[in-house]
């Protein structure tokens, strides 16, 4: 599944091979550095997932569905049932959001199953080995912490929006200072206001951190295992064992891909449901 380890910025052999494949294709802007590979691949996969859903929605018939339509309907019904069991308010926005998150994250995670040496091999075939060593492309967006945190921060903003929508601006602010420790009397409320605010801030901030780090950590680890297998079994002598190890890990990794997408979707819905509830 991998080519022979080549020298990279981190040195020769396996170390250089891994360092090369862990390096992002970046571009400097006035506001900072952007990982162009993660951004472009995530955007392309997002458009592809929308196109995939739109295509089968447009072709949907009331008769016996084809395999493609049946599979899409199965995914939509599965996500809708999860939302229905968790979120008890108006689901007209939450259900499509959950479906988008699930499908998009699955698409991004699935990039980890593609041979990681395809970009290097393509560049080497066209431009030569020297150019390949200075050309980077990490095509698993969810193995980039910037991608997962961007998604989790968006969820965090939705949590704040639904909290204010359900409780009002004053109700939301009041809850920050009066929960979870409720008190009677002005003095007790003042004394507990700072601890309540601190605990609420920790609770709110821990949600995007846990969402982003969980998805990133699992996908980064999976990507790194593929690199180690490709690097350790790179010679022609160990090619067959490398294929076997890669295949076994890929089969197991399919479960991780689907599970992490499911967890991210479910936790998003749970967090929004918690924000929507009055306390």
Rounded-to-integer distance, Cα 198 and Cα 179, Å: 10
Residue 228 to residues 116, 119, 140: CA-CA distances in angstroms?
11, 17, 16
The stretch 33-52 carries a mean pLDDT of 94
146 is catalytic: no
Per-residue pLDDT for 221 more than 70? yes
Residue 248 has pLDDT above 70, yes or no: yes
- Mean pLDDT value of segment 199-208: 93
Q: What pLDDT score was predicted for residue 222?
A: 92
* pLDDT at residue 1 greater than cutoff 50: no
List the catalytic residue out of 109, 163, 218, 246. 218
Q: Report H helices in 111-185.
A: 118-127, 129-133, 145-178
**b/e per residue 120-148 (b: at least 16 CB within 10 A):** beebbeeeeeeebbebbbbbbbbbbbbbb
User: Is the confidence at residue 133, as pLDDT, over 60?
Assistant: no
From residue 86, alpha-carbon distances to 26, 83, 264, 266 in Å are 39, 5, 14, 8
How does residue 6 score in pLDDT terms, banded at 50, 70 and 90?
very low
Q: Which of 81, 210, 235, 247 is catalytic?
A: 210
Instruction: Give catalytic status of residue 92 as yes or no.
Output: no
Q: Provide the angle, in degrees to the nearest 10, between the axes of the packed helices 36-58 and 145-178.
A: 80
Of 200, 169, 166, 197, give the one whose Cα is nearest residue 276: 166
pLDDT in tens, 65-76: 888 889 999 999
Q: What CA–CA distance (Å, rounded) separates 98 from 35?
A: 26
pLDDT of residue 59: 83
Q: CA of 218: how far to CAs of 73, 146, 257, in Å?
A: 28, 14, 9
The mean per-residue pLDDT over the stretch 27-54 comes to: 93
Helix axes 239-276, 145-178, angle to 10 degrees: 20
| Distance from C-alpha of 85 to C-alpha of 227, rounded to nearest angstrom | 39
Average pLDDT over residues 51-57: 91
In the numeric block, the tokens 């959950």 are attached to 98
What mean pLDDT value characterizes the chain? 86
Q: What is the pLDDT of residues 222-245, one digit of tens each?
A: 999 988 887 777 666 677 887 888
- Of 214, 235, 246, 247, which is the active-site residue? 214
| Digit-coded pLDDT (tens) for 87-117 | 988 889 999 999 999 999 999 999 999 887 7
218 is catalytic: yes
Mean pLDDT of 251-267: 95
The pLDDT of residue 128 is 59
Instruction: Please give the structure tokens belonging to residue 40.
Output: 């472009």
195's CB contacts (< 8 A; 6+ apart) are 181
- pLDDT at position 2 over 50: no
Phi then psi dihedrals of residue 164, to 5 deg: -70, -40
pLDDT value at 201 more than 80: yes
Instruction: Give the residue, 146 or 125, on which the prediction is more confident.
Output: 146
């Amino acid at each position: 599944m991998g080519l022979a380890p080549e020298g990279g910025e981190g040195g020769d052999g396996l170390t250089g091979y891994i360092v090369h494949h862990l390096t992002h294709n970046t571009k400097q802007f006035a506001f900072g550095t952007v990982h162009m590979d993660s951004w472009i691949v995530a955007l392309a996969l997002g458009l592809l997932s929308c196109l995939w859903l739109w295509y089968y929605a447009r072709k949907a018939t009331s008769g016996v569905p084809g395999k493609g339509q049946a599979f899409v309907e199965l995914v939509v019904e599965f996500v809708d049932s999860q939302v229905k069991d968790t979120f008890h308010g108006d689901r007209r926005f939450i259900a499509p959001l959950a479906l988008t998150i699930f499908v998009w994250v699955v698409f991004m995670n699935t990039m980890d199953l593609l041979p990681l040496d395809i970009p290097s091999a393509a560049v080497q075939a066209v431009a030569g080995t020297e150019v390949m060593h200075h050309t980077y492309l990490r095509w698993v967006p969810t193995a980039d912490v910037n991608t997962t945190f961007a998604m989790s921060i968006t969820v965090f903003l939705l949590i704040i929006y639904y909290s204010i929508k359900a409780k009002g601006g004053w109700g939301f602010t009041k809850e920050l200072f009066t929960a979870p420790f409720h008190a009677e009397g002005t003095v007790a409320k003042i004394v507990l206001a700072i601890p309540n605010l601190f605990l609420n801030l920790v609770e709110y901030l821990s949600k995007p951190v846990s969402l982003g780090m969980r998805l990133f950590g699992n996908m980064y680890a999976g990507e790194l295992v593929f690199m180690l297998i490709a690097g350790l079994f790179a010679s022609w002598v160990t090619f067959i064992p490398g294929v076997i190890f890669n295949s076994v890990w890929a089969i197991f990794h399919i479960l991780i891909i689907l599970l992490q997408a499911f967890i991210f979707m479910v936790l998003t819905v749970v967090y929004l449901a918690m924000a929507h509830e009055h306390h």
